[in-house]
Structure 1
Amino acid sequence: MAICRIFSLGWILTATLGAEGNEAGRWQGSGNVGVTLATGNSESLRATAGLEVSRTLGKWETQVALAATYGADGGVSSTERLKAELQLNREFSGRFYAGLNKELLHDPPAGIGWRLALTPLLGWRAADGEKIKLRLEAGPGFTWQDRSGEAGEFSSVRLHERMSYQVTDDIRFFQSLTALFEAEDLDHFTISAEAGVESRLSGLWSLRLTANAVYYGAGQETEDKDLLLTAGFGYNHLPADLKQGSLKSALDQLEVEAGRWRITGLLGGSLSEGNSEARAVHAGLELKRKTPQDEFAAGVFGSYGETEGVTSSGALSADAHYQRQYGGKGFMGLRGDFDHDALADLGWRIALTPYGGRHLFKTKRIQLSMEAGPSAVMEEQGGRGASYLAGYLAAKGEYGLGEKTRLFGDLSWLAEASDWSSFLVTSKAGIDHALSDRLSVRLIARNTYDSSPARGRGRYDFQLVSALGLTF
């Protein structure tokens, strides 16, 4: 139910923003949602949703912010954090302003049933240009809380810093840092930080890669550190004077000369320490060389995760193929595949497949092909080795979405020739968005269905991950 609440919050906020106007004095802001998910033989989830809106009337400014984070491993909640903020500012001469901040926090894994902080503050717009904006705020306040089932209150001091840097017309870097100290005991504090990059896809939609971190001081009864890296979509309700023109293409700059190698590395992950112990890493490497007549590509992708010292995910897949064009849209090739999945009790699986195929569509924007062939398979599953002949059938496609973004996907079916009821269906779909000529963000969904899994294992595995890609 928690993940449903997260997504409901994100999409409701998005829809709310879309209904607003751009006139002076009206609300403007942005909403976002992101997720990393694995289900099947391993269970892991990280999700975020957020909203930031503001309104300015003369010298008065109102700001509202909501942020929700949820994480679970093996069905057990490891992160559950909800933060709501309301702030009213009154501008004075120059870049200085005074304000009142009200913050509500809910964080059960850290023992915080609820915490309400009320802080009058002084603020300074240290930088307020078109490219860079920097705000600094500080003030004394008072905090009420229910921690570990005990109600309490204390005088507090709040420090806040927020920065935004417009790298290009379409790419923005953002960062914030907030610290709340107990005035009488500075060992009791909470520090929360956020940093990320947002790149506009088209119109008001954007792709966001965000890292969130929270640290509770050692002077408190519990110590908690959480680091979460997610990628997701954002909807920006922009001021009327901000241009929404088309994006300048960066994918064209990624095209390499015929016969040259293109190499891309992928890295993503998450970390939780303190009240919960969970970590996960996703990494991959892709190589590609293409000429007008032939193509060679290879890739490897691995995922590993631990929860409370117990392995929660451990998978490795690799593939390579050589393909040559024949007769216009036809092609022939040879591919090899390797798979390992510790939680599915798959020690290893190797498949060698000669194949032939045809391009159904092949334009600059759309590519769709079908291929098929016999396959020789060797595997060790459930501690038992086997080898067999199989039939292979696959569909692959790409679609250019905007000038910097592409959708990609493939679907393959591998069935044992002597028993067609024993088969393996694998699929992959994702979005690849170029941040620059070498840097990109990817959201990748992977799905596997094994009709004959190892004893005691599930047939179905699904994984949704985000990763940062570097091409060279």
Structure 2
Amino acid sequence: MSACCLAVSAAFGQTAATSSVAPTNSSPWDVAATAGLTLTRGNSKTLLGVAKITGDKKWDAGKNELSLDADGAYGESTLNGREQSTTEQLHGFAQYNRLFSERFYGLLRIEGLHDRIADINYRITASTGAGYFFIKETNDILKGEVGPGYIYEQDHGVPNDTTHSYAILRLAERYDHKFNPHAKLWESIEVEPQVDKFSNYIVNSEIGIEAQLTKKLSEQTYIQDFYHSDPAPHRLKNDVKLVAALSYKF
């Protein structure tokens, strides 16, 4: 099956205050929007659409950071006249960081997920904790986060849906590296074990590269892996997504 994915990314921010207005140390929002579409025709007909919007803001001389993310994907296929959904997912998170020093910060995070194919009606994860920048340089940033959290989830079931909740320990890290002004790499891993049953855990990971083609156009390729050791009945533990996209910056 052949597939192609195109994405357009737009970022904008507000201009600096005029001389008639007292200057502030609040920086503008950085907003990016991405959309992609995959189509195949022939022995089978498939459709896959993805969309994503992110927003990041720093203020108070960089001591406060807020990150917002919302993304979704929908896919369907038709084979021998039979149509079925292959992807139906909505996901989003909000995270607030408060820096107490150049490297140490506290955080609050809330995340939501709906995945009909994985039989997850909804999963809400709330967590807090502390983070630390092990490396904070121009071309390299490595940070880790740890703290308690809580998951509230409802899985689709027959004849009845099942709801469960439990406390977790959230462990996360992210690394960003710039090879040069035109190429960069990133990777992240997040592990969330149930505190009273470590055999039940969730692992989310991502690794990707970006190569700048022109001043505004770049190519991104990344892999996302979502693993749940105790999935909904009759569902696989692992979901992997490979994305190749073009990104345009205004």
TM-score of the superposed pair, with normalisation by structure 2: 0.83
How far off is 1:439 after superposition?
4.2
AA paired with 1:286? T
- Of 223, 235, 244, 1:457 maps to 235
Separation in 2 of the partners of 1:397 and 1:411? Answer: 9
- Partner SS state of residue 458, structure 1: coil
How far off is 1:284 after superposition?
0.7
- Partner SS state of residue 229, structure 1: coil
Contact 1:268 / 1:468 at 8 angstroms: preserved in 2? Answer: no
How far off is 1:471 after superposition?
4.3
Seen in structure 2, the aligned counterparts of structure 1 residues 466 and 403 have a Cα distance that, compared at 3 Å, is: same
Cα offsets for 1:119-175 (capped at 9, x unmatched): xxxxxxxxxxxxxxxxxxxxxxxxxxxxxxxxxxxxxxxxxxxxxxxxxxxxxxxxx
Separation in 2 of the partners of 1:402 and 1:328? Answer: 24
Separation in 2 of the partners of 1:357 and 1:347? Answer: 30
Q: Determine the structure 1 residue equivalent to 2:56.
A: 288
TM-score of the superposed pair, with normalisation by structure 1: 0.45
- Of 383, 386, 390, 2:168 maps to 390
Separation in 2 of the partners of 1:400 and 1:356? Answer: 25
How far off is 1:271 after superposition?
0.8
Q: CA RMSD in A?
A: 2.2
Separation in 2 of the partners of 1:262 and 1:435? Answer: 21
- Say whether 1:266 aligns with 2:34: yes
Separation in 1 of the partners of 2:215 and 2:56? Answer: 17
How far off is 1:377 after superposition?
1.2
- Partner SS state of residue 118, structure 2: coil
Contact 1:266 / 1:467 at 8 angstroms: preserved in 2? Answer: no
Q: Determine the structure 2 residue equivalent to 1:325.
A: 99
Q: Determine the structure 2 residue equivalent to 1:297.
A: 67
Contact 1:331 / 1:357 at 8 angstroms: preserved in 2? Answer: yes
Seen in structure 2, the aligned counterparts of structure 1 residues 367 and 335 have a Cα distance that, compared at 3 Å, is: same
Separation in 2 of the partners of 1:313 and 1:301? Answer: 13
- Partner SS state of residue 102, structure 2: coil
Q: Determine the structure 2 residue equivalent to 1:408.
A: 186
1:13-412 aligned within 5 A: 71=1, 228-230=3-5, 259-291=27-59, 292-308=62-78, 309-382=83-156, 383-412=161-190
Q: Determine the structure 2 residue equivalent to 1:234.
A: none
How far off is 1:317 after superposition?
1.5
Structure 1: runs of 5+ lacking an equivalent:
1-70, 72-78, 80-227, 232-253
Residue identity over aligned pairs, in percent, reads: 25
AA paired with 2:67? A
How far off is 1:275 after superposition?
3.7
Separation in 1 of the partners of 2:163 and 2:99? Answer: 36
AA paired with 1:380? Q
Separation in 1 of the partners of 2:217 and 2:32? Answer: 9
Instruction: Kindly name which structure, 1 or 2, has the bigger radius of gyration based on alpha carbons.
Output: 1
How far off is 1:466 after superposition?
2.0
Separation in 1 of the partners of 2:145 and 2:233? Answer: 32
